[in-house]
Structure 1
């Protein structure tokens, strides 16, 4: 079981910004003497109590008296005035004299606050009960008069207290309130005028049905000008994901997050219960099921019977279907449905009935007896058989037939449903149907099996659908099972297609290239001597792609050319397009970019005409690669966007090339500075490989780090680490982003470790990833330079030597990777050259001041369109210029870098730029270099800068190096500071500055970048 903290215990309030703003605004108006009330409505578990707790904390922090009371679900008439008694109870024992006096002079409050009575009972209050003894008994006043006195007393005491301090009165769960409580609330709210009083009452919207006694009061209250309605809706998907991540104690896989978000439908309590009971399970947690079912116990037997019938359907149900399956008469059915709708259990959508929340349906279904389930599923299956064909008809028939154990009907229905799902662009659904058909294949009698289908075909289709729906490992597994099922009696053409399916599946799975080579070799052996055919053309096209992947260029080229010729001869446009892609990729490898792009565009067009969707996406992907490798980022982005749109239309966003298109597009958006505001990668559907989901998360990671969202980035890094071997590009993204984050946090040893770990992993996995060492080495080098600078300032020669040695080793790593790596286009592209230039410039800072000329070259190298990296280099260039006393050029570079960082909300870079500008006394447009201070400040900006560094333990020499002034000038500034503050020593000057608020105390050891 996954343990999570309970709601409200340290979990941040997610979303709810607008609702919180409205409630705070109401309280703020009350502070000014504009009394008001708010009615907070929302379903059970949606977060009403948490929102009210935040409001109470806000009001308490502003000195308000917060009074809170709750109604209870007491079905035998309720407890009169319970929430008011609870809320006002603390007044009876308050130590505040004003409150005590306000209560004392209002004896009518005794009905709520017995402890508030003053003095003993009078003799008139003793009433003889029997002739044997007497007991004290309150005189019973006339009811209406006594109630009015109480109401007046409550209003008066709150109004009087509000003259001394604002009052927030919170009444929760008003749907359970008794009549007396509702009357008192109506009286109180209708008399709100100029008191500093804000009343908030919450209720469950789904419990207030048409005949609920609270409904009339709500209608009355909302007409009052002082009353505001606040509806608390379920969380949106993005907010729900953020809530689930905050709720868990450790990292969660994308699958678990997606499952909890989907099933909870934005309800925080439901999400908490699902996660606490292990969300991977399809079964509803027992505790949550009990909570949900408790609501239904109040309904009549007929209403509960109807709910069971709808739960078995698993979707919206028409009135006619319910009449047939439930067995109720028309009048009974109408009344049962009306009752369920009025109690907000069912809703009407397009003339059909469905549960208000899907988890209610799960709870009811889980509570059914086995026999009930079977009978109702059989009734639905029988009805579906008699209805006309329509969208989803076969899937519904298959589902109900399986649940009623009618496998003979289920098998052909599953096969038809899989075909329909494929046509609709839903390969994941098609895979589930085929898998279910495989599960029951051996149970169905041979005479009842469709003649045109056998187990081999099912295995082949399962492999294909698994590959296109984001499960490459399962695609390989099913393809292996298919080749193992081959027998000598199997037709040769089918055997070839079976081996080719295994080759294609393995080619798209990391670490399975050797299997792909073996499988395509088997397929080729079977057709090498045969006549030209579509099957032979497809084998050649697949062989060409695989041979290129293992650097067998001549074999690849021959296979591709032959495939094109064969495909044209027999009219196999899809195979021709596939082979053209390989020819285009080979031309790219040879740096013949014009030829490459012509081939790839032709392949895309032919694949589209042939309706070969996967081939079309592959063509678009390689065309994007061609532009990207040459630094033509804008064109590459346009191509990727076209491919993504096509993948979405076809339902192939989690196929190998659908995923690659989205991942590359997100990375180029990072380079170009078109950063999305939130994770726009899409949540993986159920069943999508966690490795593929991790790849998308990794593509988002650089933006998360660059924006300074380090807590979220740490969680992502932990989540992604297990997937390095399954997807090496995840390792590259994780290593790079992790190193950059540690750099910004000032933990340079960790930054170097992370970069080196990722580089070593990549090179050990496959020498083809050698080029990744350029970027990783440059990132590690940046931290080595920072460590060297720190050691130099501290005068730590051993640490300095160590940092310099690490930096030199990283520079060699970069140079080796640049020289020996194998770029796709045969020579290092703009991105690789830019990172290499950055490493060379950075390395000049190992021995002292960096070389401005090399940093200028790095800026120019990233000018191909890598906006963020260019801004980083401008910042470093400015620092090198300042060391060379070129202040004007440095100011120009800082201004340009700051504009980019501010626009991107790249906070770590922005803050570093501002700090450098402040130290160098350079004004950035629109930026105040120093916060405003409320105290009289005798220090100049330069004097304060000197004193800040002295406070951090710097020597005069170190201060001078940081501020680009001489050691003697530092001494002069310090003398003036001590004179102004009346201090005799440096330490005393720092202490005085802290006490007077002239310096802000550092919050961490790395407050300033060295």
Structure 2
């Protein structure tokens, strides 16, 4: 994919709402005659220029004169008054007479505006000119024009112009300003009173070190009552991700978005450079590195030496460590650190030193010579071995030993670091340590390797860590490599555990159930005749779970019961808890919910006591499923929340069950109407499988569509499509959201196409997903019913019949899915029944007005806790009631639907409800009727007469107009008669033509308002 930097060319201003509001408020005050100034501070690349461009555009749209000047980085003394000369330069050639006069009467401005040509105004003395090539008169040059005269002239010209129109003066990069510019700025700000003038000056905060000449001026300026300070901070994590996505020309992998957002630390310029200059965004771009290193080149050699030492550390470094690694004396080190801190390159964090921005560290580290880098890493490793052990000790030792190529020291350090990471609940870090150990295993002499570790153990642990950190595909790959390492003389227990690890890894990936069953059977074969033990209990428990997934219920039950017996004999509470989960799930399938939930709660407790977090999360998942399937939404949400908390506490957020808990929880929040912000999905940890991140995105997508964020939704749909086969639940969620998106966009053919694609895909993949066809088919059915209604209104009988026949095929397929699908509890639950009722209600409107009773039933069925879908049904119920001439009941129902849609900010539904209310002349509480556009002529038509005439212009018959506006055909005829009389027309067509000629119609021809 080609990525192009596009800052300032269509990229929306992200997360600067508060700053923009404050700047606009300052300009608004200036418009009222309250002059002011804003000092805008921020790091290089944080977005100051972009923010000021937005302000300039805003001010320009309000009729203001916008003047912009920039300081330049000129080392030797600077250019006097440069930003003012640039900003005021356009005044010399302005077409505005008021501006021209204001400039001409101030000769002192000639020092700033060399193009200004004074004209013959009364207070300027002129002398004759003898050259035939010159104008008859020229101004007498003033001698010894003082600085104060220039300052007065600048203030005077701005004040005079501001009497005619507001003025916005923008001065950028004030940290490079020369002394004269600083003095002029101070003069202007100290004399701001009632001018319609706003001055905004920006500067780089990190460049204004303690001895910088601007620093003292800033201290003085902020004391002025007209001056405010505004600091522009880096983007927060969620905003940084949104900015990165906006920069790209096409969809980005979630891990790329997360990486760029993390490394840029919220700096838009850094993010743009990282994204535009490198395909994988792992190396720092050469151009960006040069920009960053240029700042550091200004420092003294000792300061740069210290920075090189800190860059090698990769973290904050204590003073004692720097003294040892840098080789500088105490006095030299103190001065070097003081210089780096004052120039905002380093910051002090808890008594240690770190780079102010991570990319500065990357740039400096990348600039090191190979030998220099190796020596410093070795020095850090040597120091670590001599210091007391603490948290992260082994990880640091392993890192520096690897970089200094001391592999003999690195290998055991990596193994200890992996154990520590697991204890701390960081399986991703443990995986990276295990993988690094595998990479160097063969390079370390056998005699130097730890005696209690071999390659088989490393592969086994790498598989486990990958599975618990959100990388199921790698978990399988390592498990397969591990079984290939098995030999005929391998210990039976180790061989059994290896085969079981492979089976467990395969359990969590779609399409591998047969291989999982084969692997667990191999493990079972090794211990089938053995005495009860922990190993045998775990094999039985895992086998029971896999057998249940293959619909071999009786065998699964027997294996689970045997696992419980073995686990109790061997005192393995974790294995017992795992088996209890399967027993609970089997009871749930048999609709014995009391027993199921008791088993699952017992499993949760035992797993927690046994410190088996994966098993605990699995128990919570199945307990939540039990409540969810029966429509007990509040109870299910509580369970899933508890599971999410435990996943976070144990570091298993991106494990298979940690992900499932969060995805189900988000889905239930959608149903309950407690819609969260987008950040609830969470940024994926580095290395998390794209399949898992797609599942979370798919869970969020219905809210995106329902809130009308169609552009974002379309982009997400394209990203999710490649992941359907790997995760069918993504196909279900994305398919349903895609159908609804097309429906709200009025693209009914696409809605049907998307529904059929998803239904066909899921049935071909596994008939067990047939039940999803109820919801998918219902979405398509709504689109077909809308097509049929439009065709009827247009008098297109053939189109209406074709749509109705297609809809009847869909309702039959939906009924088949409901009858032959396989619910988890054996019977269709509340959600399935509600969607089926909605399908039947929708189908009742295929050949004419829908049945209000069926829509009332659908709304009632969704009353188990699905708020948004119930509001949709109420909207449709109200429309059916209007068609059945029951306007009072329709109004009551429509008001309820509107309250929900408005509360949820479900814009497409809310707008559809308001459109229906307007057509039916129903008043919605809190909704003010839209004001009609202003016309140059007197409008003789009433709102209802205009509505009738608009539909006549679309080719509707009187009957069709009545159906659409919920009035009788006779009433339509009366309205038309009045319209023709008012317009002096004798025919319908003539009335329409006259109305268009006079600009009396609201809608352009061809627009339809029909929705169903």
- Match of 2:146, SS state, is helix
2:310–2:354 CA contact under 8 A, matched in 1: yes
Deviations 1:491-522 (A, max 9, x none): 01100000000000000111111110110010
On the 8 A contact 2:789/2:1010 being kept in 1, the answer is no
> How far apart in 1 are the matches of 2:316 and 2:1000?
67
Query: How far apart are residue 937 of structure 1 and its match?
Result: 4.8
Are 1:946 and 2:916 an aligned pair? no
- Would you say the 8 A contact 2:108–2:153 is kept in 1? yes
Q: CA deviation at 1:239?
A: 1.4
What corresponds to 2:967 in structure 1? 965
Partner of 2:776: 776
Give 1:238 shift.
1.6
The verdict on how the C-alpha distance between 1:491 and 1:204 changes in structure 2, with shifts beyond 3 A counting, is same
Distance in 2 of aligned mates of 1:298 and 1:1004:
67
Which deviates further from its counterpart, 921-930 or 846-855? Answer: 921-930
Matches within 5 A, 1:759-774: 759-774=759-774
Change (3 A) 1:996 1:22: farther
Task: Give distance in 1, aligned partners of 2:488 and 2:305.
Answer: 56
Q: Which moved more, 1:794-803 or 1:478-487?
A: 794-803
8 Å CA contact 2:678–2:700 kept in 1: the answer is no
Counterpart for residue 452 of structure 2: 452
Q: Which residue of 1 aligns with 2:408?
A: 408
Alignment of 1:206-245 (within 5 A): 206-245=206-245
Tell me the residue number matched to 1:654: 654
| 1:578 alignment counterpart | 578
Does the 8 Å CA contact 1:679/1:700 hold for their aligned counterparts? Answer: no
Residues 405-554 of structure 1: pairs in structure 2 closer than 5 A: 405-554=405-554
**Pair 1:381–1:518, CA change in 2 (3 A):** same
Q: Does 1:565 align with 2:565?
A: yes
> Alpha-carbon deviation of 1:216?
1.3
Deviates more, 1:933-942 or 1:100-109: 933-942
1:139, distance to aligned residue in structure 2 (A): 7.5
| 1:991-1006 matched pairs, under 5 angstroms | 999-1001=1001-1003, 1005-1006=1007-1008
Following the alignment from structure 1 to structure 2, what is the Cα–Cα distance between the partners of residues 881 and 115? 75
| Alignment-derived partner of residue 673 in structure 1 | 673
Deviation at 1:938, TM superposition (A): 3.7
Q: Distance in 1 between matches of 2:668 and 2:139?
A: 83
Q: CA deviation at 1:966?
A: 3.0
Q: Which residue of 2 aligns with 1:130?
A: none
Cα distance between partner residues in 2 of 1:851 and 1:40: 62
Instruction: Tell me by how many angstroms 1:138 deviates.
Output: 10
Q: Contact conserved, 1:2 with 1:275, CA < 8 A, in 2?
A: no
RMSD: 2.0
Report the alpha carbon displacement of residue 471 of structure 1 after superposing the two structures with TM: 0.4
Asked if 1 retains the 8 angstrom alpha-carbon contact of 2:953 and 2:1005, the reply is no
Q: Which residue of 2 aligns with 1:129?
A: none
Structure 1 position 974 matched with structure 2 position 976: yes
- Counterpart contact for 1:2–1:278, Cα < 8 Å: no
Q: How does 1:168-207 map to 2 (within 5 A)?
A: 168-207=168-207
Between 1:359-368 and 1:1000-1009, the stretch displaced more is: 1000-1009
CA offsets, 1:100-135, max 9 Å, x none?
111111111111111214489999999xxxxxxxxx
What secondary structure does 2:24 align onto?
helix
- DSSP-derived class of the 1:588 partner: helix
2:368 match: 368
Which structure 1 segments of 5+ residues have no match?
127-135
Partner of 1:620: 620
Counterpart for residue 793 of structure 1: 793
Please tell me whether the aligned partners of residues 871 and 900 of structure 2 are also in contact (alpha carbons under 8 angstroms).
yes
Q: Distance in 1 between matches of 2:911 and 2:214?
A: 54
Q: What is the CA deviation profile of residues 243-270 of structure 1, one whole-angstrom value per residue up to 9, with x for unaligned ones?
A: 1121111111211111111111111111
Rate the CA distance shift 1:993–1:356 in 2: closer, same or farther, 3 A: farther
CA contact (8 A) 1:125 1:137 kept: no
Distance 1:231-1:124 versus aligned 2 partners, 3 A rule: farther
Q: Quote the Cα distance in structure 2 between the aligned partners of 1:1003 and 1:454.
A: 78
TM-aligned CA deviation for residue 5 of structure 1: 4.0
Q: Is the 8 A contact 1:784 1:806 kept in 2?
A: yes
Q: Structure 1 CA distance, aligned partners of 2:1001 and 2:38?
A: 44
Q: Per the alignment, in what secondary structure is the counterpart of residue 251 of structure 2?
A: coil
Q: Is the 8 A contact 1:5 1:249 kept in 2?
A: no
**How many matched pairs?**
999
Report how far residue 1000 of structure 1 moved: 3.7
Separation in 2 of the partners of 1:223 and 1:1000?
Answer: 55
CA 123–916 in structure 1, closer or farther in 2 if over 3 Å, else same: closer
Q: 1:999 to 1:221 in 2, by over 3 A?
A: farther
Q: Provide the rounded CA distance (Å) in 1 between the counterparts of 2:250 and 2:612.
A: 43
Q: Are the aligned partners of 2:863 and 2:870 in contact in 1 as well (CA < 8 Å)?
A: yes
Q: Does the C-alpha gap of structure 1 residues 843 and 123 become closer, same or farther in structure 2, counting only changes over 3 Å?
A: closer
Offset of residue 1007 of structure 1:
5.1
1:715-864 to 2 correspondences below 5 Å: 715-864=715-864
The Cα of 1:626 is off from its aligned counterpart by 0.4
The residue correspondences of 1:320-339 to structure 2 (distance < 5 A) are 320-339=320-339
Aligned to 1:255: 255
CA 1:302–1:595: 2 relative to 1, 3 Å: same
Map residues 267-416 of structure 1 onto 2, 5 A cutoff: 267-278=267-278, 280-416=280-416
Q: Is this contact kept in 1: 2:126–2:139, CA < 8 A? A: no
Return the offset for 1:565. 0.5
Structure 2 gaps of 5+ residues are 131-137
Deviates more, 1:913-922 or 1:40-49: 913-922
Post-superposition CA distance 1:88-108 (Å, at most 9, x none): 111111111111111111111
| Cα distance between partner residues in 2 of 1:716 and 1:560 | 41
Provide the secondary structure at the position in 2 that maps to 1:168: strand
Bigger mean CA deviation after superposition, 941-950 or 800-809: 941-950
Asked if the contact 1:256–1:279 (Cα under 8 Å) also holds between the matched residues in 2, the reply is no
- CA separation of 1:249 and 1:982: change in aligned 2, threshold 3 A: farther
SS in 2 for 1:680: helix
Alignment correspondent of 1:132: none
Contact 1:914–1:929 (CA<8 Å) still a contact in 2? no
